[in-house]
Amino acid sequence: MISTLPIVARDHHERLMRHVDQLPAIGDSIGSASMADLRREVNETATFMSGLLVPHMEAAERTIYPELERLLQNRHSMAPMRREHAAVRRLLSELLHIREQLDREQLSNGDAFALRRILFNLYALLKIHLAEEQLYVAMIEHGISADAGAALAAALEHAGIAES
Please tell me the predicted confidence (pLDDT) of residue 5. Answer: 65
* Residues in CB range of 28: below 8 A, 6 or more apart: none
8-state DSSP, 62:
I
Give the amino acid at 129: H
- Average pLDDT of each block of 10 consecutive residues along the chain (164 residues)? 61 88 97 93 95 89 82 79 96 95 84 96 95 79 65 61 46
Please tell me the predicted confidence (pLDDT) of residue 156. Answer: 61
Domains of the chain: 4-157 (1.20.120)
Please tell me the predicted confidence (pLDDT) of residue 114. Answer: 96
